[in-house]
Structure 1
Amino acid sequence: MDRIRIVGGTRLSGTIPISGAKNAALPLMIASLLTNDTLTLDNVPRLADVALLKRILGNHG
């Protein structure tokens, strides 16, 4: 895991939104074919690979 260390007089706090990983999203999208239940995947990255697979899956119902 990458780290950034900041040395100074004031403590930092807050949040940083991180995009989901394509390597996790694509297999989960394929695995969704194994159920008839409705699934919701959150934090899926907006990438061409994901959009293409979404279109392919949409064409197959």
Structure 2
Amino acid sequence: MAMEGQRMKQNQSYTAEFRTEVVRMVLEQGLSQAEVAARLGVPKGSLANWVVKAKGPSKPFSGAL
């Protein structure tokens, strides 16, 4: 179903360094995912995925994604 007058936003790619810093803002600085996503213009779903990946299966954040 085409939406007239609307365009799909092209996928944005982010560097590993950017993703790591964004995850640190959530895990180490205690900012909420919603706040960080809004501040930096990152989709909330992407940020949530990065945080889950960084946490891994019951391990502390290592600083790398």
| TM bracket, shorter-chain basis | 0.3 to 0.5
Tell me which structure has the larger Cα radius of gyration. Answer: 1
Higher share in helix = 2
Q: Higher RCO, 1 or 2 (CA under 8 Å, sep at least 6)?
A: 1
